[in-house]
Structure 1
Amino acid sequence: MSDEPALADVVLHPVRLRIIQQLGGRDRTTAQLRDALPDIAQATLYRHVAALLDAGVVTVVDERRSRGGVERTLALGERMAAVDQAELLAMGGAQLRTAFLNFLGDITGDFDRFLGADTEQSRELVGFARTPLYVNTEDLAAIQAGLAELLAPYLTERADGRRRVNLATILLPEPSDPNSRRVGE
């Protein structure tokens, strides 16, 4: 049995989710994280960075001397910050609800920060929608693989004037209706 904590226990904390979002596709120094997350106390930020480092979710990619201390540059580590299907299946209902609410809270916080800095240029990049899909697990795996391939060129920060946006996905199966007939039956 592994001594590593469950990934969900590590990443599904509101502060850690925000740190992970800041690192997605780019390296950031601890000073850059402080600047990007000014509402989080420095000691709290460092404590959560340490938890992410301990879990292998975040890694140190560079260190340099700065003002008598060492400034670390961080990136997402080998243990990616995504909770896999096995971990979701192992969660009880209350834990899954808490994880989902943390996820939604993180997105809501991002949206509030967007509204606080709202510009016409930013509005050109915002959007949200819902689309019902009819899938089985194999279909879903194919869709996810296709999305991963489609999105791969856009996951790394570039210096060509492209703006960073966050794409969030949520899959919610509808409850089965015992009275409904399936197509083809």
Structure 2
Amino acid sequence: MKFRDIVTRSRSYRRFDTSFRLDDGQLADLVELACYVPSSRNLQPLKYVAVSNSESCADVFGCLSWAGYLTDWHGPVEHERPAAYLVMLCDLEIASGAACDSGIAAQTILLGATSMGLGGCIVASVERDRLRSVLGIPDRFAIEFVLALGKPVEAVVIDQMREEGDVRYYRDAHGIHHVPKRTIEEVLQQFR
């Protein structure tokens, strides 16, 4: 698969085939990718908690909010929930914050998942205190994101957004998830 295809197929998937389980090796492979990405001052403060058993996945799911623009949808139903999660942490004994590291690492993990025929979603709307309690995360770690992972069961398409267009994603009458994206003509600027 060409890199451009991996990037355009790496969408925020929110519905998964729960019967497809990720194993610890697959999760470790995805985290290992993040070990090689650039890091601010090369401090490498990011750590991860891999969650893949059904009971723990249910506990993590209860700490998350899904798709804020879809106001009439409260997240995936039980048989469409993620098969695994990677909880991204910043080790505060290494750095006071993750700077740009968290975004670089999260995107790299999702690109890796896409290359494996999987998908995911970076979830930032997290009840952090509750998740800390559920997983027993020590205070020295700040919770950055939760990466929801699995085998997608939804179609997500990119729509070219018109200038001044609406950025909100939506689902059409057939359940297809549409994501408006700005065009290259709008994004690539020239000032001279």
Instruction: Give the TM bin, normalised by the shorter chain.
Output: under 0.3
Name which one, 1 or 2, has greater alpha-carbon Rg.
1
TM-score with structure 1 length normalisation? Answer: 0.28
Greater per-residue strand proportion: 2
Q: RCO higher in 1 or 2 (8 Å CA, sep ≥ 6)?
A: 2
TM-score with structure 2 length normalisation? Answer: 0.27
